[in-house]
Amino acid sequence: MDFKIADILYFERYFFTDNNSSAPHFALVLLPSSILPYRFSNSLLCAVITSKEPKSFFIELSKKKYIFFSKDSSYVCFDRQDINSINDLDAKQNQPLGALDKIDIKLAFKKIKDLFYSTRGKHLCQSFKINKFLIATTIREWKKYL
Amino acid sequence: MNKLEHIILYILRRAKEKNKTNLSKIELHKLIYLLEVESFKFTGEGFFDESIGFVREENGPISLGVYRALDNLMDDYIKINEIKKPDYPFARHCISLVKEPKKYNIDDSEILFINSVLDSYLPLNIKALKSEVYATEPMIEVQNEERKQKVKFLKGKRLNFESVTLDEDLVDVVAS
């Protein structure tokens, strides 16, 4: 199953790379699954979506627009990225639950660029270091949706 | 095996997955050329080192580095057959994968970028691929020079990748 940029998914078991824990969670697809290296086949690079407002690098999504959320406001945290298995998606739901609209894609793209500017050289998740080719690929792929 | 050789094998593998069991030499040169152009556009630097050296030929850009790599890969990893395809009246030299390396010597982030570029260009037929190549800055620059000098083509003229404009959103990331 292929997912594309800006798809919103619900994982029955979302794995957090930073503390090796997992929990049910919404997440946003950051790169199309079809372009990930083979060792990540059947996996997705995602940003977690939480109900707690983060300090930076986020966009707010309202329940009015994205009716599948349980809280009035949810937040895509672009500085919390993880590789997750497609097998851990909630099979009881039709995936993706939805996708960002054009306005939110533009906002998301701006935040992603801000994040890259601030975090060059660091690891956002264990699998991918923020380097020139990750930045290049992300910009190249997100621009297709603007 | 050097990096260019690994990348050629990887391109052939990716093409095979997209139901292209072989690529003509012309297609392969154009895909590698476009990978280099896209790298200049989205990173400001080349994907390959300078030994790739693309020069102007009658049918577009060719690279001596790619020819050398194909020679090195012949027999063990690739085979080249003359194949006639419906989009061209004559048979072309087409390259197919015989064996893959145990491990590709390409970083994960480089593979992401290669996949992104190949997904844009692999589905195109040779005519469309040629249009994409001729619309790039290094080819426009050499064609302008050819018009100025009133010659059919500047055979062997080294193509200037520094003419590729950096993507405006990449400029934002670098300079914001």
Report all structural domains of chain A as residue ranges with CATH numbers, in order of start: 7-143 (2.30.30.110)
pLDDT of residue B151: 96
How much is the average pLDDT of A60-75?
A: 96
Quick one: what percent of chain A has pLDDT higher than 90? 77
Determine the residue among A137, A143, A144 to mutate to test chain B binding: the one whose Cβ has the most chain B Cβ atoms within 10 Å.
A137
- Per-residue confidence (pLDDT) for residue A121, from 0 to 100: 52
Q: Decide if B112 and A133 are in contact by the 8 Å CB cutoff.
A: yes
Where in chain B are the domains?
Answer: 3-175
Structure-block tokens of residue A75: 């937040």
* Alpha-carbon gap: A50 to the closest alpha carbon of chain B (Å): 26
Q: Kindly tell me if the per-residue pLDDT of B152 is higher than 80.
A: yes
The alpha carbon dihedral of A82, A85, A86, A87 has a sign of negative
Strands (E) across chain B are located at 23-24, 54-57, 60-63, 78-84, 91-97
Task: Judge whether residue B8 has pLDDT over 60.
Answer: yes
For B109-136, how does the pLDDT look when each residue is reduced to its tens digit (9 = 90+)?
999 999 999 999 999 998 999 999 999 9
Q: Chain B partners of A143 at a C-beta cutoff of 8 Å? A: 167, 169
| pLDDT for residue B107 | 92
* Average pLDDT of span A37-41: 88
Cβ <8 Å between B109 and A137: yes
Query: What pLDDT, in 10s, does the model give residues A73-127?
Result: 999 999 898 999 999 999 999 999 999 999 999 999 999 999 988 875 555 555 6
A84-93 burial string, b = 16+ CB within 10 Å, else e? bebebbbeee
pTM of the complete model? 0.93
Over residues A49-76, mean pLDDT:
95
> What confidence tier does A131 reach under pLDDT thresholds 50, 70, 90?
confident
Q: Which residues on adjacent β-strands are paired with residue B78?
A: B74, B97
Contacts across the A-B interface (CB distance below 8 Å): 72
* pLDDT one-digit tens code per residue, B49-100: 888 889 999 989 999 999 999 999 998 999 998 888 777 777 788 999 999 9
Confidence grade of residue A18 (pLDDT, cut at 50, 70, 90):
confident
| CA B55 distance to own-chain centroid | 12
Q: Measure Cα distances from A65 to A7, A97, B28 in Å.
A: 14, 12, 46
ipTM: 0.92
Which pLDDT score, from 0 to 100, does residue A130 have? Answer: 75
Residue B26 pLDDT level (bands cut at 50, 70, 90): very high
What's the pLDDT at B139? 98
Chain B residue with CA closest to A35: the answer is: B115
User: Residues of chain B whose C-beta is under 8 A from some C-beta in A?
Assistant: 38-39, 42-43, 45, 107-113, 115-117, 119, 167, 169-170, 172-174, 176
Q: Number of helices (H) and strands (E) in chain B: give both, helices first.
A: 7, 5
Residue B90, pLDDT score: 78
Q: Rounded mean pLDDT of A62-67?
A: 96
